[in-house]
Amino acid sequence: MKKFSSRIYMGLVFLFLYIPIFVLIANSFNASKSRTVWTGFTLDWYVKLFHNETILKSLLNTLIIALIASVFATLLGTLAAIGIYNMKKFTRTLVINISYLPIINPEIVTGVSLMLLFVALHIELGYVTLILAHITFCVPYVILNVLPKLRQMDNSLYEAALDLGCTPTLAFRKVVIPEIMPGIMTGFLMSITYSIDDFVISYFTHGATSQTLPITIFSMTRRKVSPEVNALSALLFVAILVVMIIMNVSEMRKLPEDQRRRAAKKAAKKGGCA
């Protein structure tokens, strides 16, 4: 009975989360612009979407900014996580708390403060300021994902690589990076997701020609949101779903290999003790 009730509870939670998305996808196939009246099935909104220059340009801006910001945020966040990991305990705790402030801090505060900073430095609002702003709030998410992987890593592997003749750079590239790669990839994907999704910080730091997709959609709400936005949202949802499925399948395939490696390590340790 307890197991049955827990399944019902989880089902209700998932329905609460995904019913709005399913309604949005259904409306993308509605022949009418109305969000409440179904007049028939159509693919016209998908066709019109690829002829809407405003939405396509905003989408392209969003993807370019998200990709560039995520790459730089991943590099900076990974290096920062390695530096934080090698600090003394008190300093490490202090720096971790400071680095997590942008996550806890309200976005409107971050957005306004970044805008004031760019104005004070006489940097014209546009692509550069948007990318810098997105890097700023993406770096903590990378640190948040890479640090646990560093804690889980066996430090003796790096030391063994040095003993076997590797240079520190080669040992870092061949030993440390593969061990923390899952955290790096998770941080990279989270950075892309948050960058694409961000509205408040982008609103305060964008220029006249660098509007992102959330800003364009917000400007449409003053009149009426076109069903083409529903079509675009449905395509984004499907694309993210496909990426998540591919990642999960690849992780499941790697799982037996990781288990064999752990078993080999345990066997080697037992043999050494003997």
Mean pLDDT by 10 residues, the chain (274 residues): 81 90 88 78 88 88 93 94 89 88 88 93 91 93 92 82 82 86 90 90 86 86 78 88 82 65 54 41
Class of residue 213 by CB neighbours under 10 A (exposed 0-12, middle 13-18, buried 19+): buried
Whether the CB-CB separation of 70 and 137 falls below 8 Å is answered with no
Residue 215 CB coordination number (10 Å): 17
Residue 180: φ, ψ to 5°? -100, 5
The token pair that represents 242 in the structure block: 């496909």
- As a whole number of angstroms, the distance between CA 20 and CA 15 comes to 9
pLDDT value at position 3?
Answer: 77
- As a whole number of angstroms, the distance between CA 108 and CA 102 comes to 11
Angle, CA 271 vertex, CA 268 and CA 274 arms, to 5°: 150
Max Cα separation, the chain?
77
The token pair that represents 201 in the structure block: 């910080």
pLDDT value at position 158?
Answer: 80
What is the rounded (10 degree) CA torsion for 259, 142, 67, 199?
130
pLDDT value at position 41?
Answer: 86
- As a whole number of angstroms, the distance between CA 261 and CA 267 comes to 10
Amino acid at 151: R
pLDDT value at position 272?
Answer: 41
Residue reference for tokens 């509605």: 30
pLDDT value at position 136?
Answer: 92
Answer yes or no: pTM beyond 0.85: no
Cα 272 → chain centroid: 42
Residue 254: φ, ψ to 5°? -75, -20
- As a whole number of angstroms, the distance between CA 253 and CA 273 comes to 32
- As a whole number of angstroms, the distance between CA 44 and CA 54 comes to 17
The residues, ordered by sequence, that sit 6+ positions from 220 with a Cβ below 8 Å of its Cβ are 226, 229
Whether the CB-CB separation of 53 and 228 falls below 8 Å is answered with no
pLDDT value at position 210?
Answer: 81
Distances (CA, A) of 204 to 99, 221, 246, 247: 22, 18, 35, 34
pLDDT value at position 265?
Answer: 55
The CATH number of domain 54-226, selected from 1.10.10.10, 1.10.287.3510, 1.10.3720.10, 3.40.1280.10: 1.10.3720.10
DSSP state of 208: T
Whether the CB-CB separation of 85 and 92 falls below 8 Å is answered with yes
